[in-house]
């Protein structure tokens, strides 16, 4: 079938390396089918799914079960994180070599149940087993608890003051970097959000790679909390303009490796609960590419830089394999975009059954008009085509 790409730009398939599809869990909030349809409508060809599901993915049985339940449900390719716990260091060493595993994910803070690893001894043990790059949510657990307690004691600024707490993320990032330096294990720090972390990490580029979220590049506190209330609550929090400008500077100077959405759906009522009971996390897999294209149109970064951060960068950091090559696009994954399109993101465009987006009403110059996964056109002009033919993504077993 003929494809007319006149006036369009053909990009390598764009990757969202940070997505919580919540499956298994509550399908009325998010699930594989809806989450990946949202992804392809938004121009994503591959996403990496987080392990903090209702049943955490922390061993071979839970990983195998997740892979089986994805079959016939996914519209794009999906790589899977495997979750670190205080007890599974040995198992992780084997599991990180599984073909479908994009990386180990470790929550230093901000997680429920089994998936919290908050002490240096456990983190170091995990770092000393295996060799692939480990991904971290770096916020320090004790400090995060303190932040909550502070507000529970009646801080008048409520959630608005969250962005003041820079130390929570910076402390965790320093702890992890010290452990990485001591063990020689390469690490990837997810959603870096502060000027302090980025300045500090300049000296560790050989060992520590970084992700920045579209939310931190687009939203600015405290205004966003006034405008969106609980819909803006996430960990790490949206920061003020000082940090916002610092992360943009790092992006432009090439000190950032990946951009992700941290798509983390919650039921609307959980987002609207009064602080500090507000559920933390924003939806974003469907809006990531449109919002980034708009940043390109407004001159905040070049299209080349965006492709580096959303295709080449994630492929390199995670060791994504395309027909044996650590480069995106070799297996005919493409995102075709119309930089002349003027569109507005609205909630009714969003597929996720949770039914909300922090980008409702956001105007975009530039829009994804076609998504091609392994040679198949799966989205064209806002329409999903074909069937749920996504596959498990495949990763190099060597350290990246």
The per-residue DSSP string of 74-126 comes to -SSEEEEEEE--SS-HHHHHHHTTSTTEEEEEEESSS--GGGB--SHHHHHHH
Name which of Zn ion, ligand DOR, none residue 82 binds, using a CB cut-off of 5 to 8 Å depending on partner kind. none
Task: State the number of binding residues for Zn ion (CB under 5 A).
Answer: 2
Which CB sits closer to ligand DOR, 128 or 164? 164
Which CB sits closer to ligand DOR, 110 or 177? 110
Interface mask toward ligand DOR for 241-270; x: CB under 6 A: -----------------------x------
Name which of ligand DOR, Zn ion, none residue 95 binds, using a CB cut-off of 5 to 8 Å depending on partner kind. none
Q: Prior bond to 61 cis, omega within 30?
A: no
137 contacts ligand DOR (rule: CB under 6 A): yes
* Residues 88, 91, 93, 97, CA torsion sign: negative
* Residues 161, 166, 169, 171, CA torsion sign: negative
Q: Cβ distance 59 to 92 under 8 Å?
A: no
137 contacts Zn ion (rule: CB under 5 A): yes
Q: Cβ distance 190 to 126 under 8 Å?
A: no
Minimum distance, C-beta of residue 7 to Zn ion, in the bound complex (Å): 36
132 contacts ligand DOR (rule: CB under 6 A): no
The strand order across the sheet containing 44-49 reads 14-19, 44-49, 77-83, 101-107, 134-137, 187-189, 208-213, 258-260
234 contacts ligand DOR (rule: CB under 6 A): yes
Which residue in 262, 294, 331, 338 is the catalytic one? 262
46 contacts ligand DOR (rule: CB under 6 A): no
CB count in 10 Å sphere of residue 142: 12
The strand order across the sheet containing 9-12 reads 9-12, 334-344, 363-373, 376-380, 383-384
d(CA 151, CA 341): 43
Positions 102 through 131 that interact with ligand DOR (CB under 6 A): 110
Name which of Zn ion, ligand DOR, none residue 280 binds, using a CB cut-off of 5 to 8 Å depending on partner kind. ligand DOR
d(CA 113, CA 93): 22
Active site residue 34: no
| Among positions 103, 116, 134, 280, the unique one binding ligand DOR when judged by CB under 6 A | 280
| Among positions 16, 23, 196, 262, the unique one binding Zn ion when judged by CB under 5 A | 262
235 contacts ligand DOR (rule: CB under 6 A): yes
Which CB sits closer to ligand DOR, 219 or 343? 219
Look at the block and give the residue holding tokens 């008009």.
369
Task: State the number of binding residues for ligand DOR (CB under 6 A).
Answer: 9
Task: List residues near Zn ion by CB under 5 A.
Answer: 137, 262
Task: List residues near ligand DOR by CB under 6 A.
Answer: 20, 52, 110, 137, 234-235, 264, 280-281
Catalytic residues, by residue number, are 262
């Amino acid at each position: 079938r003929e494809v007319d790409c006149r006036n369009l730009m053909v990009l390598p398939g764009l990757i969202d390396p940070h997505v919580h599809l919540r499956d298994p869990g509550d399908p009325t909030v998010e699930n594989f089918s809806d989450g990946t349809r949202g992804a392809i409508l938004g121009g994503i060809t591959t996403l990496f799914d987080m392990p903090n599901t209702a049943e955490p993915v922390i061993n071979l049985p839970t990983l195998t079960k997740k892979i089986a339940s994805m079959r016939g449900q996914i519209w794009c390719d999906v790589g899977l994180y495997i979750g670190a716990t205080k007890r599974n260091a040995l198992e992780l060493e084997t599991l990180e070599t599984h073909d479908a595993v994009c990386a180990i994910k470790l929550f230093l803070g901000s997680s429920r149940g089994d998936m919290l690893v908050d002490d240096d001894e456990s983190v170091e043990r995990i770092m000393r087993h295996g060799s692939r790059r480990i991904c971290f949510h770096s916020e320090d657990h004790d400090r995060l608890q303190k932040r909550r307690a502070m507000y529970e004691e009646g801080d008048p600024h409520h959630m608005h003051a969250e962005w003041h707490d820079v130390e929570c993320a910076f402390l965790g990032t320093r702890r992890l970097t010290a452990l990485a330096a001591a063990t020689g294990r390469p690490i990837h720090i997810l959603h870096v959000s502060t000027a302090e972390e980025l300045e500090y990490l300049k000296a560790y580029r050989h060992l520590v790679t970084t992700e920045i979220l579209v939310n931190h590049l687009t939203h600015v506190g405290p205004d966003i909390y006034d405008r969106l209330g609980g819909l803006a609550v996430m960990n790490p929090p949206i920061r003020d303009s000082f940090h916002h400008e610092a992360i943009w500077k790092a992006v432009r100077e090439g000190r950032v490796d990946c951009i992700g959405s941290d798509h983390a759906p919650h039921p609307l009522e959980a987002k609207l609960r009064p602080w500090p009971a507000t559920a933390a996390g924003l939806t974003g897999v469907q809006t990531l590419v449109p919002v980034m294209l708009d940043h390109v149109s407004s001159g905040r970064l070049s299209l080349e830089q965006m492709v580096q951060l959303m295709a080449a960068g994630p492929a390199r950091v995670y060791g994504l394999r395309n027909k044996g090559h650590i480069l995106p696009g070799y297996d005919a994954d493409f995102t075709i975009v119309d930089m002349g399109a003027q569109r507005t993101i609205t909630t009714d465009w969003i597929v996720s059954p949770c039914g909300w987006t922090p980008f409702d009403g956001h105007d975009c110059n530039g829009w994804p008009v076609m998504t091609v996964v392994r040679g198949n056109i799966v989205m064209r002009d806002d329409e999903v085509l074909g069937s749920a033919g996504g596959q498990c993504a495949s990763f190099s077993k060597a350290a990246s």
